[in-house]
Structure 1
Amino acid sequence: MQIVSMTAEHVSRLAELEKLCFSEPWSEKSLTEEIDNPAACFLVAMQQDEVLGYGGMHTVLGESYVDNIAVFPEFRGHGVGRTLMAALIEKARENGGVFITLEVRTSNLPAIAMYRSLGFTEAGVRRNFYTEPREDALIFTLSF
């Protein structure tokens, strides 16, 4: 597996992944806009020419926020999400980050376990944060 920066050639496949994973998916246009955004870091996990998943975050004044981590269903459980998160954490540190934060559905137990194993701690709850289905979000933070 190789982690690369997102480029225009990844966007259509990542938009498909967004539709598979999220009730409010990012569009191709939204993803494309992040390519040249200096506050954005969007990484893609590749195996040869195949997209396995991706992760994206924004960093402003040392504070990093993970927007999305998504892995195609057939590649889940093989460390793709963990590898992407580790790469985002490293990028946040390289950019002088103070902390990195994210939200996750309370029902997404595999992701919660992964975040905890990477050192994230629960910082709070956002009530009814998600729709379709309506669900609370746990806020996780990792300080550097």
Structure 2
Amino acid sequence: MIKLVIRRGRLEDLDGIAALEQVCFASPWSRESLYRDMAENQMAMYFVAELDEEVVGYLGIWLVSEEGYINNVAVSPSHRRRRIGSALIEAMLEATQAEGIIAHTLEVRTGNEAAKRLYEKFGFKEAGLRKGYYEDNGEDAVIMWRY
């Protein structure tokens, strides 16, 4: 049986993370942007989900003062509905709270009901709206916070 492994992301994971960006998001981060964030941004922390040594999910967060800004959560479409997103969020919350983070925030597309339900399961609550936030189609973003 193949076991899911959740661990801190490393530069060696860059190709897998970049590939997930391409299949999961309408406006993906470039490989170069991901590299700079992972290699140079001291506030950035990444987590990956691996199945059989393949990166099937990832989460990126920036730690600013006592807050964590979740910039991306992605799970391969072929591996969704297997609690991988939940496992990534659980690992991130445990690690960031150990670092002194007391609040977490993120933006999610207004139409992404599955993602909103996932975040609500972990105590995130809707706190505002960013009109026209997404460049690809002008969709609004729901701002969510967890304290």
TM-score by length of 1: 0.94
Identity %: 38
Contact 1:92 1:100 (C-alpha < 8 Å) held by counterparts? no
- Number of equivalent positions: 143
- Which AA in structure 2 matches 1:82? S
Q: In structure 2, how many angstroms separate the alpha carbons of the residues matched to 1:4 and 1:117?
A: 21
| Pairing 1:134–2:102 present | no
- The structure with the greater share of residues assigned to strand is 1
2:122 corresponds in structure 1 to: 118
Give distance in 2, aligned partners of 1:99 and 1:18.
25
CA RMSD of aligned residues (A): 1.2
Q: Does 1:3 align with 2:6?
A: yes
Paired residues for 1:28-107 under 5 Å: 28-36=31-39, 37-107=41-111
Contact 1:6 1:42 in 2 (8 A): yes
SS in 1 for 2:132: strand
> SS of the residue aligned with 2:131?
strand
Give the drift of 1:8: 2.2
The one of 19, 30, 33 aligned to 1:16 = 19
Q: Aligned partners of 2:137, 2:13: CA distance in 1, in Å?
A: 28
- Structure 2 spans left out of the alignment, 5+ residues: none
CA contact (8 A) 2:66 2:103 kept: yes
- Corresponding letter in the other structure for 2:14: V
The CA distance in 2 between the partners of 1:4 and 1:14, in whole Å, is 13
Mapped partners of 1:116, 1:64: distance in 2 = 16
Cα distance in 1 for partners of 2:109, 2:138 equals 10
Kept after mapping to 2: 8 A contact 1:23/1:131: no
Gaps of 5+ in 1: none
